[in-house]
Structure 1
Amino acid sequence: MKKFFIGSRVIKTGIAVFFTALICEIVHISTAFAVIAAIVTIEPTIHASIQKGLIRLPASMVGAAFSVLSIYLFGASPLTYTAAAFLTILVCYKLKLHAGLIVATITAVAMIDVAHTSLWADFWARLGGSVIGIIISTLVNMLILPPDYFKKSREQLDLVISLTNQLLQAFVDIRIKKTEGDHPGHILTGSFRKLTNERLLLEQYIQHQQQETRYHLPNSAAKALLEKEAILTEKLKLIHYHLWNLIHAGRSRQELHWGEEQRHLLMEAVEAVQENLLHWMREDIQNGEKQFQDLFQLFWSIEMPKDGYFPIESTYLYELLSIHQLVNDGQSSEKQMHIQKEAMLSE
């Protein structure tokens, strides 16, 4: 049986609409414009709601003003709708009020089709309704089910690390073991693209949470956690850069002149990197220094060709050693971050 789920944004939109309509009835203001403003002001983050709300307020004023002006000049006619919409869009673009364009245009056009007793009174009534809707939605977004990206970022970090390990393993299978099987070489490029998209989503979650902390009481532990998580994500970006170099180098036509012993050394080092990446999420850390000391010796033993081009063996070793260094640099900070995050999520 499929689980029925209503997201927090849907719930908050309904609450914002209810209170907006209720207040408009109390103060005898038309609810239509206020409700429209309330609906479009609910954003995924408090920061976005406030920032866009500050843009939508002057944009609503522009739309209401051009609606009144168009009615005064042309009456209720097709030209009135055209002028109100055209001028509102033009001025909003010129003033860079892009986030308020929809509210402003709807306000401008919808005001034309209502009974008018006084254009000046209509202007303030419609504008007041929009202001009420924007303020109510912003308050609801801040106070009711406020966005929390800590859990999302943690889950996304787990996913990115898992995909990184999977791609490292696919590289070993295809480029080192030469076991193509059901995984042709071009799969590496597609997998890396998916990995990049997931890492960008992780960066977005962290950015959202950093923005949200501005609107909550100061929490030094949370701020420290976010800083460490951001640093860890930057390290992942660098790890993925070197991982891409591994994949790209393997697409060249250079032959890998390694015997079973050298290939085994590299595969052991890759396993150590994968294990260390997993230990980013746990307290027990294993460095696997022996495997990488062997790789260093192997790296310096490679003879450089006279044509000046790096052999593929040296490229593989350099990129893998770089990944190892980045992983080890991030472990100590990740251990402390993990402990803090588990404590916060359990509260």
Structure 2
Amino acid sequence: MSFFKKFRFVGGRIVKTGIAVFVTALICHFLNWPAMFAVITAIVTIEPTAADSIKKAFVRFPASAIGAGYSVLATFLIGDSPISYTFVALATIITCNKLKLHDGILVATLTGVAMISTVHDEYVSSFFIRLGTTVTGLVVSSLVNLFVMPPKYSDTISRRIHTLFMKAGEILTNRGKELCCSQSTDKDLHKSFHQLVKEIEYTETLCTYQKDEWKYHRVRKSDVQSFHYEYKKLNLLRQVTFHIGNLIYLPSHHYRMGQSKTELIMETIHLIRGIFYNPNFIISNEYNSKIKEITEWFADQNSFIESTEMQEKSNFSPETIILYELLSIQELTEELSHIHLLESNRNNRLGNIQIQSPQKQITKNQSSTKARTDD
């Protein structure tokens, strides 16, 4: 399978689809069954995880039976006509919706419509042959998804999380410049923020896929622990994004700050961005110093230059909100650094154990050899 990895456009799911289609068509060829319906089912049944394939197979089988049943009925009553195709499609969709077989609507409708032109006088045998081809496609695809190139999302999740932290740092930096210069939010920045939220949601979906995949495969404890740490980072990223969103939608033209305070905010934001870009999320002494100044500024409410207009509408000035959001992101950043440190320490311990184990085995073998020689 390593051959396919040389081609970026050929992913694991594409390879598994090709294998499932070939095996399904081969079985139908030996059984002298029409392979078209089985192949359609096999293509549709390949899901991102084996768990999804197995779960949806139990939905697609009865749905396919409904589609085949309507096809046989329409052909018997009306024959091969436009009304038959319309009736089978609508009746299958409505029935599957009523029975909540949503995941099977597509394959059931395709099966029912495609059967009309192939059903002649042998209605009962045609019905059971279609069920047989459907079962073949479902079983083959589920087994291929289960045993051939089982997906591993952990590495992808880890890379995506770090990339998304860097994107969050960029968005925070750009928004900080707008706030400090009293500029309105750029439309592209809004788009970037919404794209970041979507990518976080997709990463969450990958985490769900990985947990579902582990239900059907043996997994090492170390892999589960690594995934646990990455999932914690993802939760922190989601919270950081929430606070960045508050800054995105904060009006930025109702207040002004002195140059020293503006520089302090931007320096702090740049340091946070630097931590997000660091693979180890290391916190510097300069960062701690700036956060201390921000904290003192936040505590000293009398040092804020508040806008009279905003004072009448809210108990919190925009400066107070900015400082609060920055301090919230700061706490999450420190927790992120702490989690990554724990993960690194665990990986180092595992590495030492793996190095020491072969050495102990060699020492044990040498001792056994020496004991036999003495005897």
TM-score of the aligned structures, taking structure 2 as reference length: 0.81
What is residue 121 of structure 1 aligned with on the other side? 125
User: Which region of structure 1 is more displaced relative to structure 2, 150-159 or 334-343?
Assistant: 334-343
Task: Give the direction of change, closer, same or farther, for the CA distance of 1:115–1:198 in structure 2 (3 Å limit).
Answer: closer
Deviation sequence 1:27-71 (CA, Å, 0-9, x none): 222211111111111122222222222211111111111222223
Task: Give the direction of change, closer, same or farther, for the CA distance of 1:196–1:113 in structure 2 (3 Å limit).
Answer: same
Task: Give the direction of change, closer, same or farther, for the CA distance of 1:81–1:338 in structure 2 (3 Å limit).
Answer: farther
CA distance in structure 1 between the aligned counterparts of 2:264 and 2:280, rounded to whole angstroms: 26
CA distance in structure 2 between the aligned counterparts of 1:82 and 1:341, rounded to whole angstroms: 60
* Deviation of 1:218 (Å): 3.8
SS in 2 for 1:114: coil
What is residue 234 of structure 1 aligned with on the other side? 235
What is residue 280 of structure 2 aligned with on the other side? 282
What runs of 5+ residues in structure 1 fail to find an aligned partner? none
Asked if 1 retains the 8 angstrom alpha-carbon contact of 2:185 and 2:248, the reply is no
What is residue 142 of structure 1 aligned with on the other side? 146
Task: Give the direction of change, closer, same or farther, for the CA distance of 1:189–1:79 in structure 2 (3 Å limit).
Answer: closer
Asked if 2 retains the 8 angstrom alpha-carbon contact of 1:59 and 1:101, the reply is yes
CA distance in structure 1 between the aligned counterparts of 2:75 and 2:187, rounded to whole angstroms: 62
* Deviation of 1:224 (Å): 2.5
Task: Give the direction of change, closer, same or farther, for the CA distance of 1:36–1:252 in structure 2 (3 Å limit).
Answer: same
What is residue 266 of structure 1 aligned with on the other side? 265
**1:294-333 superposed matches below 5 A:** 294-303=293-302, 307=312, 309-333=315-339
Asked if 2 retains the 8 angstrom alpha-carbon contact of 1:254 and 1:311, the reply is no
Deviation sequence 1:108-133 (CA, Å, 0-9, x none): 22222125353221111110001101
Q: Which amino acid aligns with 1:275?
A: G
Asked if 2 retains the 8 angstrom alpha-carbon contact of 1:24 and 1:30, the reply is yes
CA distance in structure 2 between the aligned counterparts of 1:8 and 1:269, rounded to whole angstroms: 43
CA distance in structure 1 between the aligned counterparts of 2:117 and 2:344, rounded to whole angstroms: 58
* Deviation of 1:90 (Å): 1.5
Asked if 2 retains the 8 angstrom alpha-carbon contact of 1:189 and 1:247, the reply is yes
Q: Which amino acid aligns with 2:161?
A: L
Deviation sequence 1:262-286 (CA, Å, 0-9, x none): 223223322332233334x317554
What is residue 152 of structure 1 aligned with on the other side? 156
Q: Which amino acid aligns with 1:71?
A: T
SS in 2 for 1:113: coil
What is residue 335 of structure 1 aligned with on the other side? 341
Which of residues 92, 105, 117 in structure 2 aligns to 1:101? 105
Asked if 2 retains the 8 angstrom alpha-carbon contact of 1:276 and 1:328, the reply is no
Deviation sequence 1:172-213 (CA, Å, 0-9, x none): 33322x397xx9744432332232222222222222212222
* Deviation of 1:15 (Å): 0.9
For the pair 1:9 / 2:8, whether they are aligned, the reply is no
CA distance in structure 2 between the aligned counterparts of 1:340 and 1:147, rounded to whole angstroms: 25
What is residue 206 of structure 2 aligned with on the other side? 205
Q: Which amino acid aligns with 2:24?
A: T
* Deviation of 1:333 (Å): 1.9
For the pair 1:257 / 2:257, whether they are aligned, the reply is yes
CA distance in structure 2 between the aligned counterparts of 1:248 and 1:81, rounded to whole angstroms: 52
CA distance in structure 2 between the aligned counterparts of 1:80 and 1:195, rounded to whole angstroms: 47
Which of residues 46, 50, 65 in structure 1 aligns to 2:50? 46
Asked if 2 retains the 8 angstrom alpha-carbon contact of 1:33 and 1:130, the reply is yes
Asked if 2 retains the 8 angstrom alpha-carbon contact of 1:221 and 1:340, the reply is no
What runs of 5+ residues in structure 2 fail to find an aligned partner? 1-6, 352-375
CA distance in structure 1 between the aligned counterparts of 2:42 and 2:162, rounded to whole angstroms: 36
Task: Give the direction of change, closer, same or farther, for the CA distance of 1:133–1:66 in structure 2 (3 Å limit).
Answer: same
Asked if 2 retains the 8 angstrom alpha-carbon contact of 1:57 and 1:100, the reply is yes
- The CA RMSD measured in Å over matched residues stands at 2.7
CA distance in structure 2 between the aligned counterparts of 1:107 and 1:195, rounded to whole angstroms: 40
CA distance in structure 2 between the aligned counterparts of 1:119 and 1:64, rounded to whole angstroms: 10
Higher alpha-carbon Rg:
2
CA distance in structure 2 between the aligned counterparts of 1:284 and 1:218, rounded to whole angstroms: 30
CA distance in structure 2 between the aligned counterparts of 1:58 and 1:338, rounded to whole angstroms: 49
Aligned residue-pair number? 336
TM-score of the aligned structures, taking structure 1 as reference length: 0.87
For the pair 1:70 / 2:68, whether they are aligned, the reply is no
SS in 2 for 1:257: coil
